[in-house]
Amino acid sequence: MAARSEIVRQILAEMRSGSVREEPFRRLVDLYYTPVYQVFAKRGFTPDDCLDLTQETFLGIYTGIRSFRREADFDTWLFKIARNAFRKRLRWRAAEKRRGEEVSLDAEEEDEAAQLPIASPEPAPAEAALQRERSRVLREAMDKLPEQMRKCMTLRVEQDLKYREIAVVLRLSPETVKAHLFQARRRLQEMLGPYFRDSLPDWDEEAS
Amino acid sequence: MNETETHLPVEELAAYQAGDLPEAAQARVRDHLMRCPACTRMLLDLDALRRGVEPEDEAPDHEKERFWRALQPRLLALRSSRRLQIVQLLAAILAVAVVGLAIQNASLRQTVHDLSQPDLGPPVRDLSATAVRSADAPAAVSLAPDDRFFTLILSPADLRDFPDHEVVLERAGAGEIWRGRGLHRNRYGTFSLILARRQTGAGDYTLRLFGISGEHRMSVGEYHFRIETQQAP
C-alpha cells in the first residue's frame, strides 16, 4: 500500500516538525482506527475492550512518536504497540482471575494462543480413542501428500485457517491454496476411502 | 511448537511477510509457523494491519469522530502529565543549581574571611627547581597551628618568558589535588605562590610549573617539598 505509506510518512514528518501535533495525529487516527480496532476484534475482545485497547495503542503512538526511527516500518512499530496493549490486558485478566481464585494452571500461560478458541468438551473414552485413531490415519495419509499440498492441508486442519490466511502464511496466492486443498481432498479421499469422507475438513464452506 | 522454541520477533515476521528474508530464513520461519498457532496469528494480524481494510469495512466517519472525542481527554491528560514532568525536571535542576551556588557562596565567604584575617609571619619557603634533581631531602614547610597560609617562592629552571604559567600540585599517594593558571614572574625572576593550609595537609608534595604559550605547555620547574604541621601546645 504505497499510497498509505506515503501519507503516513507525511503525517509523521508533520508531527515531528510542528509544535501543533494534534491535527496530523487526528489524520493518523482516521487512517488506522479501523485496522487497529479489527486486530483486537479478531482476537475476541469485547467491543468495549477493543475501543479501550485501540485508545491505548494510539496513546502509545502519541507518546513514542519521537523515538520512532524514520527508516523503520511504521506498521510493524504500530503493531508492536498494539500487541503490547493486548498482552498487558491478558496479563491483567489473568491477574484478575487469580484474585477471584478461578484460575486454572493454563491461565498462568500468557501465551497469545490463550486467545484461540477453546477446545470442545472432552469426548467419552471410546469416542476419544476413535478420534485418535482417525487422526493418526489422516496424518499418515497427509504425510504422503506433496510438500506444498501437505502444508496447506496442515494449516487448514490443525490451525483452522482460511484460504486467504493460508496464502499469507505460505506466501502463495489464494488460488494456489484453493487448488492445493482441492487436490489434497481428492487424494485423501482416494487414499482413505469413503469412510473418511465426512471426517475430512470442509474447506468449501468457509466464509471468506 | 516445542517447549524450548521461542516465538518469532515481530520484525522477523514483518520481513517474512514483506518477502525480505533470504530463502533459508524464509523456510525456517515457514516451518515455525506450521507448528506455532500464536506466531501464525501474529503474522495474520500484522498482515491485516498492513493490508488495511476494504472500503466497505472501513468504520463510518461518525464512529471515528466518536473515538477521537473519547481519545482527546486522554491525550490532554498525557500532555499535562508531560508538562508536569518537564516542570518537575526544571525544578530539580533549579534546586541543584541553587544548592551548588549556595555551597560556592559559602566557600567564597570563607575565603574572603580567611583573607581578611591578618596572618602575621606566615611561613615562606624558597624552592629551587635545581635542588629537586639532587638527592637531598625535600624542602620542609613547617606550619604552626595558627598558620592559615604559607608562601612558596619558586625559582624556575627555565628562564624563558611565557605569557602565562600554570601550576599543578600533587600530593604523594593522592595524585593531583589542585591546579591554577595566571601565575606571573615577579621582578626578581621568581614566582610567589600562596597556598592555603586547608588546601593541603601534612605530607610530601610535588609542584610542577609550566610555561604556557598559545597551545604549547612547557615544563619550567619541578619542586618537591614536605609540609609538617605542628601540634597546638
* Smallest Cα distance from A82 to chain B, Å: 10
State the residue for C-alpha cell 629552571: B157
Q: How many CB pairs under 8 A join A and B?
A: 110
Q: How far apart are CA A21 and CA B24, in angstroms?
A: 43
Q: Could you count the other beta carbons within 10 Å of the beta carbon of residue A89? A: 17
Interface of B with A in 31-60 (CB under 8 A): 33-34, 37-38, 40-53, 57-59
A53 or A194: whose pLDDT is higher?
A53
- Asked whether B1 and B25 are in contact (CB, 8 A), the reply is no
Predicted confidence at residue A19, as pLDDT, reads: 65
Predicted confidence at residue A195, as pLDDT, reads: 59
Neighboring chain A residues of B51 at a CB cutoff of 8 Å: 1
- Asked whether B73 and A60 are in contact (CB, 8 A), the reply is no
Contact A75 B46 (CB under 8 A): yes
Contact A58 B71 (CB under 8 A): yes
> Quick one: DSSP state of residue A162?
-
Cell numbers given for B101: 551556588
Q: Give the pLDDT band of residue A104 (cuts 50, 70, 90).
A: very low
Handedness of CA A158, A163, A169, A173 (dihedral sign): positive
Contact B10 A79 (CB under 8 A): yes
Cell numbers given for A97: 482471575
> For chain B (length 233 residues), average pLDDT per consecutive 10?
76 92 93 93 91 86 92 86 85 94 92 72 77 65 85 86 91 90 87 86 91 89 89 73
Q: Using CA atoms of A149, A154, A160, A163 in order, give the dihedral in degrees to the nearest 10.
A: -20
Q: What is the spatial order of strands in the sheet that B191-196 belongs to?
A: B124-128, B149-155, B191-196
Q: How far apart are CA B197 and CA B178, in angstroms?
A: 13
Neighboring chain A residues of B14 at a CB cutoff of 8 Å: 73, 75-76, 79
Q: Average of pLDDT values for A164-179?
A: 94
> Is A111 within 8 Å of chain B by CB?
yes
* Continuous segment of H or E residues that includes residue B140: strand B139-143
Predicted confidence at residue A199, as pLDDT, reads: 57
> Is A22 within 8 Å of chain B by CB?
yes
Q: How far apart are CA B176 and CA B67, in angstroms?
A: 65
Predicted confidence at residue A105, as pLDDT, reads: 42
Predicted confidence at residue A3, as pLDDT, reads: 77
Q: Average of pLDDT values for A1-10?
A: 78
Q: Answer whether residue A119 shows pLDDT above 50.
A: no
* Smallest Cα distance from B66 to chain A, Å: 11
pLDDT in tens, A85-97: 988 988 888 888 7
> Is B69 within 8 Å of chain A by CB?
no
Instruction: Give the closest of A58, A75, A170 to B49, CB-based.
Output: A75
The mean predicted confidence, pLDDT, of chain A is: 80
- Asked whether B228 and B143 are in contact (CB, 8 A), the reply is yes
CB burial of A192-206 (b: ≥16 within 10 Å; e: otherwise) equals beeeeeeebbebeee
A164 or A100: whose pLDDT is higher?
A164
Q: Answer whether residue A204 shows pLDDT above 80.
A: no
Predicted confidence at residue A57, as pLDDT, reads: 95
Contact A39 B70 (CB under 8 A): no
Q: Does pTM surpass 0.90?
A: no
Q: Give the pLDDT band of residue A47 (cuts 50, 70, 90).
A: very high
Q: Give the pLDDT band of residue A151 (cuts 50, 70, 90).
A: very high
**Best residue in B46, B56, B82 for a mutation probing chain A (most A CBs within 10 Å):** B46
Q: How far apart are CA B147 and CA B144, in angstroms?
A: 5
Handedness of CA B141, B144, B150, B153 (dihedral sign): negative
Handedness of CA A8, A14, A19, A23 (dihedral sign): negative
Handedness of CA A65, A66, A67, A68 (dihedral sign): positive
Neighboring chain A residues of B71 at a CB cutoff of 8 Å: 29, 55, 58-59
Could you give the ipTM of this predicted complex?
0.77
Which of A50-54, A114-118, A167-171, B77-81 comes out lowest in average pLDDT? A114-118
Predicted confidence at residue A121, as pLDDT, reads: 56
